[in-house]
Amino acid sequence: MTNYNFDRVAAQYDATRAFPPAVKERICTWVLSRLPKDPAITEIGVGTGRIAVPFIERGVRYSGFDISQSMLDLLKAKVGDRPNANLAIADITQPLPLPEQSQDAVIAVQILHLVDATKALEQVRRVLKPHGALIWGWIEHGAQAPNSRIRPQFKAFVQEAGGAFRTDYNQQPARDLLAQWGARAAHHTVAVWQGQETPRQAIEPMGQKVMSSTWDIPDEILAKAAAKTEAWAEAEYGDLDRPLGYELSFGVDWYQF
Ligand SMILES: C[S@@+](CC[C@H](N)C(=O)[O-])C[C@H]1O[C@@H](n2cnc3c(N)ncnc32)[C@H](O)[C@@H]1O
């Protein structure tokens, strides 16, 4: 399996994927409102802290693990040294440096598709207290977002040139395992907001290997696909640099153990 250490894209991560401040605060408030008082929370694949920062700033006991030193350095630069934050390099598919049954919740956002999810979930289960929660979150772009329309085109052009986007991820085995353990799932849409993106901004992160789904595609195939996608988008939108508004949402499957 490809190693999805984000060192190579850390510098561009916040510029391409940041949440508005109100969304970060809303997610934090919503999660805390559903957990016991003074919870111990762990985030696997914590990255630059898109989810973690408000929790840490509010004094919550928060552990965050990542294999990327560069992503973790960016997070540490945001929050400084705080006694409530335990931020460390760790491969989340290996035993986590936490005692058994010590955490009220584990947060996993845009991470389980990048790792051996079964191994990661075994760690989640080991560190969660009885009746703890796995908070499995992700971001969705509305159907009219430039990204939602342009990405399938880009994929098709990559395929036409003999390459392939990463498509091997199937969530079902991870969900089946959670069901087998008796964890009950409930879906929640936690935040909805408006974003703006130009067609060029939707194309560039794929063409420049910022998105991890493109990392295995040979450069020449990616360059060809990017050029063809630009031509398609120019015909479709008229102007590659005109910002277009669209809806984004943050959804969570809350697994209660
Ligand atoms: C798409 S980013 C998501 C970061 C954060 N959860 C967020 O939503 O902004 C995935 C993160 O997982 C990290 N990662 C990938 N494989 C990992 C592993 N085996 N163990 C720990 N972290 C890993 C990457 O380095 C990266 O920082």
Torsion of the alpha carbons at 167, 168, 173 and 174, rounded to the nearest 10:
-70
* Euclidean distance between the first and the last CA atom of the chain, given in angstroms as a whole number: 29
Structure-block tokens of residue 121? 């979930």
The pLDDT of 138-144, averaged and rounded, is: 91
Q: How high is the mean pLDDT of the chain? A: 95
**Distance from C-alpha of 157 to C-alpha of 146, rounded to nearest angstrom:** 16
Residue nearest to atom 14 of ligand 1 (CA): 45
14 Cα–ligand 1 center, Å: 13
6 Cα–ligand 1 center, Å: 7
Q: What pLDDT does residue 255 have? A: 98
232 Cα–ligand 1 center, Å: 32
Checking if the pLDDT of 72 tops 90, the result is yes
Sheet arrangement for strand 103-109: 85-89, 61-66, 40-44, 103-109, 128-141, 244-256, 184-197
Q: What pLDDT does residue 169 have? A: 78
- Model pTM score: 0.94
Q: Which numbered atom of ligand 1 lies nearest the CA of 139?
A: 8
Closest CA to 78 of 145, 4, 18, 144: 18
Checking if the pLDDT of 210 tops 90, the result is no
Checking if the pLDDT of 29 tops 70, the result is yes
Q: Which numbered atom of ligand 1 lies nearest the CA of 3?
A: 16
> 29 phi and psi, to 5 degrees?
-60, -45
Which of 28, 55, 111 should be mutated for ligand 1, with most atoms under 8 A from CB?
111
The amino acid occupying position 172 is Q
Checking if the pLDDT of 84 tops 70, the result is yes
Which of 5, 9, 139 should be mutated for ligand 1, with most atoms under 8 A from CB?
5
Under the banding of pLDDT at 50, 70 and 90, the label for residue 17 is: confident
- What the chain holds in terms of domains, given with CATH numbers, is 6-256 (3.40.50.150)
Under the banding of pLDDT at 50, 70 and 90, the label for residue 31 is: very high
Query: What pLDDT digit, counting tens, does each position of 223-240 carry?
Result: 999 999 999 999 999 999
